[in-house]
Copies of this chain bind each other. A is one copy, B any other.
Amino acid sequence: MNLRIPGPIPVPDDILDVMSSPMINHRGSDFKDILYRVTSNLKQVFETESDMYILTSSGTGAMEAAVTNTLSPGDQVLCASIGSFGNRFGQIAETFGANVTMLNFPAGTAVDLDRLRNQLMEAPETKAVLVTHNETNTGVTNDLEAICSVVKGEFDKLLLVDGISSVCSIPLRTDEWGCDVVVSASQKGWMLPPGLAFISFSERAWSANAEAKMPRFYFDVSQYKKYYEMGQPPWTPALSPIFALDYSLSKVLAEGIGSVYKRHVEIAQMTREGIKSLGLSIFPDESIASNTVTAVKVPEGIDADHIRKIVSSKGNVILAGAYGELTGKMFRIGHMGYVSPQEINHMLEVLGEALQEIGIS
């Protein structure tokens, strides 16, 4: 199978092998060593010296943790959304009682800094800004550094970042840019199966935490802080993917994170060139196109999900559909983690055959 959805990604065989490791005592010294090493290595990839915790959940759980650990019901929150995952971030804050202002940008575009700046000027009571680094549903990467310079540099607001499909694939300099909370999830660039989420928590986030009144228990980072001092998480952790994370992080750091980013740029460029050579177009402007997922627009009158079915049955290539109003209008190609040019070529070849079959070429 050529699994080309934007997570779960195909996990390299040597990492899958580690998933079969036997269980150990999660409150013993062996696990303590692993936890501290993994946490330290995670911080290198997140480029942060802040606290960092591993949650047993999907990325959505970590988004909830980011919100509930820093905010109170009634807090004014600005959610800058460029797609369905951005909307989800806002929905979480609203669910837990924040007053959320949605600053929505058209599908396929990035956050417009002027609109963001204007909104923050108009609503000085804003306590926190929520933003998605890489919008998986539209294949757009925000210029997070520029967003940070507005949110932190100009307005000094608390900044919570969904880095689920960016960290470990696309540079996200947590401390340098001033992100207070950044979350990610294992089934993306980390080259792991789903099941773990990661959350970084700055000093500023801890100050917010001291006053945050949204209810939280399973995702309570203060419990994590307390237990990590003893070398264990508060609740029983998903050991298997943590063993695999330990291994995958050693590979990432041995390769060098700069090389990992470079591979993602190259594979993404190769994907975009291939798509265009087949006569299809990239959904967003290429200047903001994501290097972890490519959203492909299909010609008017063609059902993107029909194309997905053909490539699946023809060559066992699994592409992702789109959500919401974009359903059927485009498909998405995941290329995060370790992806070989052969895999992309195979996908393009099968896709080309499918397009010929339905008379596009």
- Is A189 an interface position by the 8 A CB rule? no
In the complex, the answer to whether B20 meets A195 with C-beta atoms within 8 Å is no
Residues of A bordering B, CB below 8 Å: 1, 3, 5, 7-11, 16-17, 19-28, 56-61, 64, 91-92, 95-97, 185, 187, 193-195, 214-219, 234-241, 318, 320-321
Residue from the list B19, B22, B60, B218 in contact with A240, Cβ < 8 A: B19
Give which listed residue, B9, B215, B235, contacts A95 with CB less than 8 A: B215
C-alpha gap A21/B236 in the complex (Å): 23
Which of B11, B194, B215 meets A237, CB within 8 Å? B194
B28 close to A8 (CB less than 8 A): no
Complex contact A240–B240 (CB within 8 A): yes
Q: Specify the chain B residue showing the minimal Cβ separation from A319.
A: B25
The minimal Cβ–Cβ distance linking A24 to chain B, given in whole angstroms, is: 7
Pick the most buried of A9, A21, A56, A60: most chain B CB atoms within 10 A of its CB. Answer: A56
CA distance A97 to B23 in the complex (A): 36
Contact A56 B23 (CB under 8 A): no
In the complex the two chains form, is B241's CB within 8 Å of A240's CB? yes
Interchain CB contact (< 8 A) of A22 among B11, B91, B97: B11
Contact call B56/A217, Cβ cutoff below 8 A: no
Residue of A59, A235, A320 with most chain B CB atoms under a 10 A cut-off: A235
Most buried by B among A25, A26, A195: A195
Query: Could you write out 25 A-B pairs with CB less than 8 Å apart?
Result: A1-B24, A5-B27, A8-B26, A16-B20, A23-B187, A23-B193, A26-B194, A28-B318, A56-B57, A56-B61, A57-B61, A58-B235, A60-B234, A60-B236, A64-B217, A64-B218, A91-B217, A96-B217, A185-B236, A193-B238, A194-B236, A194-B239, A195-B238, A240-B240, A240-B241
Q: State how many angstroms separate the Cβ of A85 from the closest Cβ of chain B.
A: 11
**Chain B residues closer than 8 Å to A92, beta-carbon distance:** 217
| CB neighbours of A1 from chain B (8 A) | 22, 24
Beta-carbon contact of B194 and A56 below 8 Å = yes
- Beyond the given A3-B23, A57-B57, A58-B238, could you list 17 further A-B residue pairs with CB under 8 A, ordered by the A residue number? A3-B25, A5-B25, A8-B26, A8-B239, A9-B23, A10-B22, A20-B20, A24-B318, A25-B318, A56-B195, A60-B236, A96-B215, A97-B215, A193-B238, A194-B238, A194-B239, A214-B215
